[in-house]
Amino acid sequence: MQVTREACADAFRQVTGRPLVQLPQMAGMADTEVFFDALALNAEELAHTGNSQNLLADYTQALASAFEARADLLTKKGRLLPGAREALIAVGRLPGVTQTVLTGSIKPNAVAKLRAFGLEDLVDVSIGGYGSEPYPKGALLQVARARAAEARGVTFGEGNCVYIGDSPRDVEAAKIGGVRSIAVASGRATHAELAASGAGKVLGDLADTERTDQLVLQVRDADEETEPFQGCPVRTDAEARAFQRAHEVVLLPRVAQPGQRDVQPARPEPG
């Protein structure tokens, strides 16, 4: 997204005093990862000063300020993917649904994106996972589940969650985090690339709300007697979480049938 790139370049210059000439790969990466890659590409000597963590803290603050200054450009230069809002609303109507966010963006910027496109009220941002946290995305999946469990008093099992993203890195994060994955070919990765990365399902887009709804229900109702969810572990519990991407923000609806057996979530380990 152009606004994100501009804010990133602005914050990088403020913190390092160097222009961001070479933009690192950003798809599927956290803002913290982008910063360290940018250092290596544009200010390598600063990456080895032993001060990189302090630079990161300054960069995170500068990035939030740079993004806030461009908030009015989000709807002008950004776009909401077709069907994203409708999919969130539809999944939100399923019994026991809680929706939150897992994204590589730092929390203030993720919330700003949601607010700009009228999605903030459809998710609980307090239990999400964000790019400013010291976890790789796979571990961040576990962090978000643990937060949701504490906030809702409902436990979450690895095999009962599905991560919907738009890059091979997202699919890999799902594998590391022990959850099922659905990929949406709405980013740079093609349908074939997403399928080759091991995604359980691949959608062309989110425009078919009914189809998205069906996939969430399919995962929720999976058990050991039914056909496995295309390469992902199947458990007997009828809970599911689906992650859906709205422009650069990944949305995670969790489906939990009231009265059914809970599964203890895996606790994240730092690093």
Residue 206 sits in the same domain as residue 122: yes
Residue 28 sits in the same domain as residue 127: no
Q: Which residues of 210-225 are buried (b: 16+ CB within 10 A; e: fewer)?
A: eebbebbbbbbebeee
User: CB–CB of 72/6 below 8 Å?
Assistant: no
Q: How is the beta sheet containing 180-184 ordered, strand by strand?
A: 162-165, 180-184, 201-203
Dist CA 137 CA 224 (whole Å): 28
Q: Which domain holds residue 154?
A: 80-256
Q: How confident is the model at residue 226 (pLDDT cuts 50, 70, 90)?
A: very low
Residue 29 sits in the same domain as residue 146: no
Domain boundary among 75, 97, 123: 75
Q: Examine the pLDDT at 231 and tell me if it is beyond 60.
A: no
pTM: 0.75
Instruction: Encode pLDDT of 169-213 as tens digits.
Output: 889 988 887 777 888 898 889 999 999 999 888 888 888 888 877
